[in-house]
Structure 1
Amino acid sequence: MVKRNFSVGLLIATYNWPAALEVIFLSLLQQTQLPDEILIADDGSAEDTTRVINKYRSILNIPLKHAWHEDRGFRKGIILNKAIKQSTSDYIIEIDGDIIMHPRFIEDHIKEAEKGHFVQGARAMVGEATTRHILQSKSTRLGFLTKGIKSRFNALRLPALSFIVKANPYSSDNTKACNLAFWRKDFIAINGYNNLFFGWGSEDCEFAARLIHAGVRKKRLKLAAVCFHLYHEYHNKSQVTVNELRYTETLNSKLVFCMNGYAEV
């Protein structure tokens, strides 16, 4: 177990996929180091998701906080802000509701936490057939050699060599919130996620851009904090162009604080 002097919250964004959420909880139970709280950002799921959450609330000896709002389309940024409003943790590790964590996922993130930085991790992609098997068997034992794993390099855990992989600390491009970590005070300082993003696309890059504009640097984490992205159909991308334009405006204006974000939910 890694010694630390800060509290950690695990933030999980979910929408109407309770079977995937259950295997996330199962992978959480296998962690070498548990978070101090679990934050569920639920973008309008039906009652079956709540039943899964309540089931694991009784199993886990950790505060489990469920933020929910009505399903009115993809409003992920808003519900993430609402979930973090319930948090008391110093440091937030964020994953999506289709991510299975390696047993040392949280431990690796804690080791990598550094003031003045946020951390972008990687993900290994799981094929459709293997995803079906995982959901049916509820098996979360995945690794570099697992059949049906794509982008296999990202399934390799060699933390002693993580320092080899570098990233531009000033680039917000290709930020993916499926494996992300940041300090809650930095999140609040830039007013969190931008609530004006509706539909899939660029909300995580725009968030990262404002962190960078505020002086928080990006760290790329490979060969540690390994996680596995379950196969699913792609989201509706009808808002991609609008969202990309909003992201570009943030970059060009060097925006730090969004006017409709965490404080407004």
Structure 2
Amino acid sequence: MRISVAVITYNWPEALALVLRALAAQSELPHEVIVTDDGSQPATRELLERIAADYPVRLVHLWQPDDGARMSRARNRAIAAAQGDYVILLDGDMVAEPHFVADHRAFARGGCFVQGSRVLTDAALTRRLLEHEVTMPGFFSRGIERRRHTLRLPLLARWYARPGTKRRGIKSCNMAFWRDDLLRVNGFNEAMTGWGREDTELALRAFHAGLLRRELRFSGLATHLYHRTRKHVVGNPNDRIVDDTRTRGLVRCELGVDRHLAEFAAPPPDLREFVRRPGAGQSS
């Protein structure tokens, strides 16, 4: 079982650096880390080239032009490019605890996808994390919400992970699927742009396909760096797509990952090799 971690990012290289360092320090390393970039400025590419020189696993950078928030398309490109059997979806502001990848492997089961959790930080703690004054927050740290998500308790985690069809709390910032299952439902729905709901719509189609959800609590821990949110957008047009998927019982979306499979029929280059070839162009 090879694990691909797909990290989505947009114009926050300082956070991405912290995320990538955490993935490089895992007790069990993934097969590869794919940074899928929704149109960042050159600072993100420059960061990746610096990090790639001594990164411990295959590191891939996929970039697409900045044409509004196209998270579904960016994630689909990572899924299409992934060489792993299992894909962990992670946001570029989510800092993984050292056993994150090992925990995801332990809770991977056929016929299921996994929904992870996150610790929320305030602006002051996020600043301290970015400045390396602290590494990971603990249960008693100041500036966190959802304090219970700092606790790694594998035995209790097994109790929570009983398969089910819970709809609430879907969030792709910490989520994992077998790659074949993602291909079966055609990945994320690229008709959904702008902020949010693409993860909920994907989960609905997964349920319609017969997959079950395993809740990953007290394991697979990650810390979410503070930033402004658009969570409470009113009249989100993506809600209509979610409602249509639910009403029609759709399994596959029309605009999905299959649009990108031909592009990545050959694996995209490992950025570690790229830095040894001066003058090479940026992935697109």
Fold conserved (TM > 0.5)?
yes
Q: Give 1:248 deviation, angstroms.
A: 1.2
Contact 2:35/2:62 (CA < 8 Å) preserved in 1? Answer: yes
Q: Residue deviations 1:157-207, cap 9 Å, x none?
A: 111111333577223332101110100000001111000011011100101
Compare 228-237 and 149-158 and name the one that shifted more. 228-237
Inter-partner Cα distance in structure 2 for 1:192 and 1:120: 16
One of 201, 219, 225 as aligned partner of 1:224: 219
Distance 1:135 1:75, change over 3 A: same
Q: Which runs of 4+ in 1 moved over 3 A?
A: 235-240
One of 79, 82, 88 as aligned partner of 2:83: 88
Inter-partner Cα distance in structure 2 for 1:218 and 1:263: 23
**TM-score (structure 1 length as normaliser):** 0.93
Q: Hey, what does 1:28 align to over in structure 2? A: 23
**TM-score (structure 2 length as normaliser):** 0.87
Compare 55-64 and 179-188 and name the one that shifted more. 55-64
Q: Hey, what does 1:179 align to over in structure 2? A: 174
Answering whether residue 186 of structure 2 is matched by residue 191 of structure 1, we say yes
Q: Give 1:234 deviation, angstroms.
A: 1.3
Q: Hey, what does 2:65 align to over in structure 1? A: 70
In structure 2, list runs of 5 or more residues that go unmatched: 261-284
Answering whether residue 145 of structure 2 is matched by residue 150 of structure 1, we say yes
SS of residue paired to 2:131: helix
Contact 1:172/1:206 (CA < 8 Å) preserved in 2? Answer: no
Aligned residues: 260
Code of the aligned partner of 2:151: L
Q: Hey, what does 1:259 align to over in structure 2? A: 254
Distance 1:197 1:109, change over 3 A: same
SS of residue paired to 1:93: strand
Answering whether residue 166 of structure 2 is matched by residue 161 of structure 1, we say no
Contact 1:119/1:221 (CA < 8 Å) preserved in 2? Answer: yes
Code of the aligned partner of 1:253: R
Distance 1:236 1:173, change over 3 A: closer
Contact 1:171/1:209 (CA < 8 Å) preserved in 2? Answer: no
SS of residue paired to 2:53: helix
Inter-partner Cα distance in structure 1 for 2:235 and 2:191: 13
Inter-partner Cα distance in structure 1 for 2:5 and 2:221: 15
Contact 2:196/2:231 (CA < 8 Å) preserved in 1? Answer: no
Q: Give 1:137 deviation, angstroms.
A: 2.2
Q: Give 1:139 deviation, angstroms.
A: 4.2
Q: Hey, what does 2:241 align to over in structure 1? A: 246
Q: Hey, what does 1:112 align to over in structure 2? A: 107
Inter-partner Cα distance in structure 2 for 1:144 and 1:106: 21
Inter-partner Cα distance in structure 2 for 1:240 and 1:179: 26
Answering whether residue 8 of structure 2 is matched by residue 13 of structure 1, we say yes
Code of the aligned partner of 1:158: L
Distance 1:236 1:202, change over 3 A: closer
Inter-partner Cα distance in structure 2 for 1:227 and 1:248: 30
Contact 1:23/1:139 (CA < 8 Å) preserved in 2? Answer: no
Code of the aligned partner of 1:147: R
Distance 1:236 1:126, change over 3 A: closer
Code of the aligned partner of 1:46: Q
Q: Residue deviations 1:11-33, cap 9 Å, x none?
A: 10111000000001121122100
Contact 1:9/1:36 (CA < 8 Å) preserved in 2? Answer: yes
Q: Residue deviations 1:56-115, cap 9 Å, x none?
A: 221213111111111111100001111222111100111101101110111100100101
Contact 1:24/1:98 (CA < 8 Å) preserved in 2? Answer: yes
Distance 1:37 1:65, change over 3 A: same
Contact 2:112/2:163 (CA < 8 Å) preserved in 1? Answer: no
One of 105, 128, 133 as aligned partner of 1:133: 128
Inter-partner Cα distance in structure 2 for 1:242 and 1:24: 31
